[in-house]
Homo-oligomer: A and B are copies of this chain.
Amino acid sequence: MRKVAIVGAGQSRYGEFPDKSIKELFFEAYRDMASSVDRNFDPKRIGAAYVGNLGCGGFQLGNLSALVSEFVGLPYIHTMRIENACASGGYALATAAMDVMAGVHDVVLAGGVEKMTDVSGSKGKYWLGVSGDTEYERLAGTTFSGLYALLAQRHMHEFGTKREHLSMVAVKNHKNGALNPKAQFQRETTLEKAMAAPMVAAPLNLFDCCSTTDGASAVLVCSAEAAKSFTDTPIWIEGFGTSSDYLAIHDRAETVALEGTRRAADRAYKMASKGPQDIELAEVHDCFTIAELLAYEDLGFCKKGEAGRYIEEGHPEIGGDRPVNASGGLKAKGHPIGSTGTGQAYEMFHQLRGSVEKPGRQVKDAEVGLLHNVGGSGGTVAVTILGR
């Protein structure tokens, strides 16, 4: 099996950008990626581009991967849009790795882009609603925060997880986001403020929910041979795994875990010949604060039901023994759907190389990190393990 490296990673600012098109956002990420490559970057070497995207700018643009590829100067390549709801970017990264492993191309782009605000003709809220089971959940009136609220209610009921535990996730991620110049929300919050925010879907309040975001990201993926020409310090894709699950929550065997995360993680750990004990830091999919707590457990960072205590004890803080969402996560960094997975890879690339923009966010000397990207309420999950 061919080894696969990441040799460059870029990201646009995340936020609301009424003045930028979806193509311009992707270009911003692409240019940032290009400038991160140590040497010999040449667009002509890129044979393929895998682009994660859910909404195509209000469902206005088809053939999107070809469109953004030509816009950044990559016509005539193998390019493909991948849509797995909020996990589109994670799957784009896995597909890029498979391509290089198969030996079809030596140098490929994995990226994602989403334009969620200021889109004419957009169906707005439908964007996220479509990622669950439309016929049984959305059309019955369930919102996305409503679905995660059900998971939170059950977790609190079974394990005594507290309202405070949810808010601790928000406080931690806002603290990290305040140190990220590309984050949507670069400001801290307090436990009191997070606890007192207006209710969205009980028990989830405004500070338990990520926002809607415009943004893009892109990473350069290549074979070990090609990596030598680009850099002396590649980041390796040690393993990846994905899993789908029943979309409707009522079809699942249990509601206090995401089975997709468990299976995707098992597969990624197996491919990497690693386990949770080897993971020094992680970017996990905190679309809602409960989702980060579930991730601690389903990725094996702590036992089922112990996520509340895990964050209480400070393990996932920067400075803790396994920082989670040093970037600010979806909560503070932002969640431009299709971009989130490769945006996590952008963060981890720089974390593992020690090249994070602001020193306060840099985790010291980490060698192995994990990315966790969830589509919908767990219908699709991609886990990737990176190492240096």
State the number of copies, please.
2
Would B243 and A77 count as touching, CB distance under 8 A? Answer: yes
Taken together as a complex, chains A and B put the C-alpha atoms of A242 and B60 apart, in Å, by: 24
Taken together as a complex, chains A and B put the C-alpha atoms of A85 and B61 apart, in Å, by: 10
Would A83 and B101 count as touching, CB distance under 8 A? Answer: no
Which listed segment binds B: A204-212, A244-252, A341-349, A355-363?
A: A244-252
Q: Given B59, B65, B82, which contacts A80 in the complex, CB threshold below 8 Å?
A: B82
- CB contacts (< 8 Å) of A70 on chain B: these are 244-247, 251
Question: In the assembled complex, how far is the CB of residue A194 from the closest CB belonging to chain B, in whole angstroms?
Answer: 29
Would A102 and B60 count as touching, CB distance under 8 A? Answer: no
- CB contacts (< 8 Å) of A131 on chain B: these are 62-63
A residues neighboring B (CB under 8 Å): 1, 54, 56, 59-67, 69-70, 74-85, 91, 94-95, 98-99, 101-104, 123, 126-127, 130-134, 242-247, 251, 259-260, 263, 375-376, 379-380
Q: Given B63, B84, B127, which contacts A247 in the complex, CB threshold below 8 Å?
A: B63
Interface SS of chain A: mixed
Taken together as a complex, chains A and B put the C-alpha atoms of A246 and B77 apart, in Å, by: 11
- CB contacts (< 8 Å) of A133 on chain B: these are 67
Would B242 and A78 count as touching, CB distance under 8 A? Answer: yes
Taken together as a complex, chains A and B put the C-alpha atoms of A247 and B64 apart, in Å, by: 10
In the complex, the chain B residue whose C-beta lies closest to that of A69 is B244
